[in-house]
Amino acid sequence: MLDFDTCNEARLRRDPAFDGKFFTAVRTTKIYCRPVCPVKHPLTRNVSYYATAAAAEQAGYRPCLRCRPETAPFCAAWKGTQTTVERALKLIEDGALDSASVAALADRLGVGTRHLSRLFRDHIGASPLQTAQTMRIGRAKRLLDETTLPITEIAFQSGFGSVRRFNAVFQALYGRPPSSIRRRK
């Protein structure tokens, strides 16, 4: 936790560099705020500082309705639906759609299939399946460039269910078969 004077100076300047680093609690109103809150500054003698929103709430303060400190930067609520998309991308990278459906992925994330597709369209510009396919092709391209594994093995390690599907997707994207991409040693 930062010292009182540093927090106080940042609060008075409404310094965005300190947003999410500490929270200002006002004894007279029993409200806590972010350092960037646009309300009139309380008297310094009436404030105390907390490292987290949870600590301020534990001390009996309630969140400001103007600056919404419970959704401070870097927390999941601040990022909104982007958090769900990031979690989905991590799961897809780990192979969640290699053996399961988009519906199963949506269930793991606690959202509906249509909502997940809408989030991907808004944040990524592609569907979850298109994103998974792009990641598979990227893995395959890396394996083709960096290893001497057979094409069949690369197809399965990349997350494709069959060599035929791997060849078809690769041909559609690059306009040539995977074997022509492999670097000659």
Residue numbers annotated as active site? 33, 37, 64, 67
Q: Could you tell me the two tokens for 136?
A: 């598979």
Q: Which secondary structure element, helix H or strand E, spans residue 50, and what is its range?
A: strand 47-50
Cα 112 to Cα 53: distance, rounded to the nearest angstrom: 30
* Secondary structure of residue 94 in the 3-state scheme: coil
Q: How far is CA 109 from CA 45, 91, 92, 113, in A?
A: 45, 9, 12, 10
| DSSP-H helix ranges across 28-162 | 53-58, 76-79, 81-93, 96-99, 102-109, 113-123, 128-146, 151-157
How many other C-beta atoms are found inside a 10 Å radius of the C-beta of residue 47? 19
Token pair listed for 128? 């979850």
